[in-house]
Amino acid sequence: MASNSRPDEIGCDDCFEQLHRFAEMKLKGKSPEEAMPLVEDHLKRCGDCREEYEALLEALKATQRFA
């Protein structure tokens, strides 16, 4: 664990594992920020994971349009 992280933080690996669920909740109009606050916090702090999330969200939106 990095020395600048807090005990209630998750790292990139944990965040990445939960991104799909977070994005799916967002697309369904639910509040992943409330259900998964550690992922939300990580996405605010980590540009790489945020980019990955945004790309995943766009891919899921495109998939829904063609489904």
Instruction: Produce one character per residue of 41-55: b if its CB has 16 or more CB atoms within 10 Å, e if not.
Output: bbbeebeebeebbee
Is pLDDT above 50 for 2? no
pLDDT for 66 = 74
- The answer to whether 4 and 37 are in contact (CB under 8 A) is no
- What would the pLDDT profile of 5-64 be if each residue is shown by its tens digit? 556 899 999 999 999 999 999 999 999 999 999 999 999 999 999 999 999 999 999 988
pTM: 0.83
Q: Are 12 and 48 in contact (CB under 8 A)?
A: yes
Which helix (H) or strand (E) covers residue 49, if one does? Answer: helix 47-66
Residue boundaries of the structural domains of the chain: 12-66
